[in-house]
Structure 1
Amino acid sequence: MGSFFTLVSIENTKLWKRLSTKIMLIIMIVIIIAATGIFKYYTVSQKVTNTISVSENWKQELQKNVDMQKIQLKQAESDTNKRAKVLIGMTKKSIAEGEYRINNNIKPESSKSVWLRSSEFATNAGYGGIIALLLIISCSALVAGEFSEGTMKMMISRPYRRWEILTSKLLAIILYGLVLLVTTFLLNFIMIGIFFGFNDMGIKEMMWTSSSIIYISAALKTAIIFGLNFLQVLVYVILAFAISAISRSRSIATGFSLFLLLVGSNIAQLLAMYFSWGKYLPFGTSNFSTFVTVGATIEGTSLAFAIGLSAIYSIVFCFAGYVVFEKRDI
């Protein structure tokens, strides 16, 4: 076991010795600083207000809204139009939040907390997709790149099993991904706080779990959203890892993985919306954070279903990569 951790340390060192690894981290930092700065400039130039007017009769108004949404939910559930089905999960989430506020006397906030603003901005800015893009490039370089560079033969000649070599590379990529995730989480929070204020640091917020509402700290909710985004990233990283091990071509691994990330996932999600069998496709329900922030956009799915299905596909991808790597001559 000690030798395996040594191998992981070696792969991690090799990864960080690459100039591209450091440059990608710097690029991520620059993107976050620039994006939050531009967002601040936009809000100032367009005089966007940060406060929300809350009526003294908010309970009565919220109850009317809930009653109207229940009618809309029944109509959507009985509607044969597939587009109407998209609204079912969102409407259920909105109804549950409204009823929870009324039953627990939780008045709507007059302004967004730094945590809510931070998680919303990170989602809208697409930081998860950027991290996935950077990790796919790193994964292709660390796995497929070593075939083209000829260094994989040196690794095989050492007293390590093939599965240990491949696993150490995967763990090194995941560790790099965690560095990018933590950097994004902290820097995005700090920049949003600097530009918009560190207000309501200890506030609690509601979180939808696909079936009920839980009331937790806003900090924990934000961390969960970032964590779910990272789980989605891992699905694409594992796919890139498997393709790299199978194809042994850096260009094929990078190109095909990026195609699935940028195009294939959108196609799978559209098929999942319009066909009942579509929800079982790879990447059709892999946008995990939307189950918490928006609600299920695909009928008959939940967060547990999405994570479970993606876990199965990830295992299949890994299995295929390991089998080919074990059997094929280097």
Structure 2
Amino acid sequence: MFNLIQNEQMKIYRRLRTWILGGLLIAIVVMASIFSHPNSDTSDKWKVRAAETIEHNTRELQNPDLPDKIKQDLKEELAEQQYRLDHNYQPLENTLWGGVLGTSGLIMLVTLFTVIIAGDMVAGEFTWGTIKLLLIRPASRAKILLSKYVTTLLFAATLLVVLFLSSLIANGFLYGFQSLSLPHLTVNAAGQVQEKSMLVFVFATYALKLIELVMIVTLAFMISTVFRSASLAIGLSIFIMFAGQIITLLLMRYSWGKYFLFANTDLTPYLAGQPMAEGMTLGFSITVLLFHFVLFNVLSWEIFRRRDVAA
């Protein structure tokens, strides 16, 4: 199995296209970091804004008609801003971690590049006629297909590492590396500010954004296996990737719209307790995602197993 994965890795990285995609990703990350970097001085101005926020929230909390939810939010913000002043912790957006989180939106670009590779993984073998040479090996079709799928996910993981490291380095030069030790601040139910690992928080943010990547890449891999056309797999997957959210908004008017795949790929609303539609829960979305994940892989396996390549 390891030799099969190694062979598929060689097929990917010996192509100039792969290195162009990697270089393009780094260039876009650097440009995005530069353009999003504030031009204003960020030295002590944040302290003035924090003090103003504390004063404003203190006045607002004296309003007896204020809803409890808003009061709780104001208290948490007040506690966090006061804690930042007391410990001289700059706001996240003024540090390299803010820049890293800002460029996490480029995971969509990683998805796009991985779809290009995934769409060609199986279909390309049929296009170039190398599928016969591949299947005469002693390895079973299941291992061959699994090695291609694992290789696709490993390529996506490699691009994610490139995205994170290039973003970290670029924003480090822009904001300074002194904020590497900056903690992630949270306010518990008792109103106490707690320091947590910023690195863990950033990785968790990346992990939540990975769900859509895995689902779209799995879809592209399935289309590549079913239709044996790299151009169709890539084109259709990219169309679904960009049109998925638009279709979701249209379908959410109906009660059955919540079963649509892309209505469940973004799990971040559950962190704020605001699901996309009534009746949707975290467990429900995970179930829908698992159903589609299994469906896509079963279709890939069954069609690849039954396909006649002798002709």
TM-score by length of 1: 0.77
The answer to whether residue 70 in structure 2 is matched with residue 107 in structure 1 is no
Residues 133 and 248 of structure 1, relative CA distance in 2, 3 Å threshold: same
Distance 2:187 2:124 in 1: 42
Aligned partner of residue 12 in structure 2, secondary structure: helix
Match of 2:264 in 1: 285
Distance 2:222 2:96 in 1: 36
Match of 1:179 in 2: 158
Q: What is the aligned counterpart of 2:218 among 216, 228, 238?
A: 238
Which residue identity is paired with 1:38?
Answer: F
Q: What is the aligned counterpart of 1:145 among 124, 127, 134?
A: 124
Residues 231 and 214 of structure 1, relative CA distance in 2, 3 Å threshold: farther
Maintained 8 Å contact 1:296/1:302:
yes
Residues 280 and 112 of structure 1, relative CA distance in 2, 3 Å threshold: same
Match of 1:81 in 2: none
Match of 1:90 in 2: none
Residues 267 and 63 of structure 1, relative CA distance in 2, 3 Å threshold: farther
* Identical columns (%): 26
Report the alpha carbon displacement of residue 63 of structure 1 after superposing the two structures with TM: 4.5
Q: What is the aligned counterpart of 2:50 among 49, 54, 71?
A: 54
Maintained 8 Å contact 2:263/2:276:
no
The gaps in structure 2 that reach 5 residues or longer are none
Matches within 5 A, 1:98-247: 105-107=79-81, 109=84, 111-113=90-92, 114=95, 116-123=97-104, 126-198=105-177, 199=179, 201-206=181-186, 216-247=196-227
Which deviates the most, 249-258 or 186-195?
186-195
Matches within 5 A, 1:37-48: 37-40=34-37, 43-44=38-39, 47=40
Which residue identity is paired with 2:223?
Answer: I
Matches within 5 A, 1:72-83: none
Residues 230 and 145 of structure 1, relative CA distance in 2, 3 Å threshold: same
Q: What is the aligned counterpart of 1:261 among 235, 241, 253?
A: 241
Deviations 1:301-321 (A, max 9, x none): 344443332122111111111
Report the alpha carbon displacement of residue 300 of structure 1 after superposing the two structures with TM: 3.7
Kindly name which structure, 1 or 2, has the bigger radius of gyration based on alpha carbons: 2
Residues 61 and 136 of structure 1, relative CA distance in 2, 3 Å threshold: farther
Distance 1:33 1:261 in 2: 24
Maintained 8 Å contact 1:115/1:218:
no
Distance 1:146 1:182 in 2: 28
Which residue identity is paired with 2:23?
Answer: I
- Give the number of equivalent residue pairs: 292
Maintained 8 Å contact 2:224/2:233:
yes
Aligned partner of residue 283 in structure 1, secondary structure: helix
Distance 1:222 1:67 in 2: 37
Deviations 1:102-133 (A, max 9, x none): 7xx5436474233651354124xx31211111
Which deviates the most, 194-203 or 57-66?
57-66
TM-score by length of 2: 0.81
Distance 1:65 1:299 in 2: 32
Distance 2:247 2:209 in 1: 19
The answer to whether residue 8 in structure 2 is matched with residue 6 in structure 1 is no
Maintained 8 Å contact 2:216/2:237:
yes
Maintained 8 Å contact 1:115/1:222:
no
Aligned partner of residue 206 in structure 1, secondary structure: strand
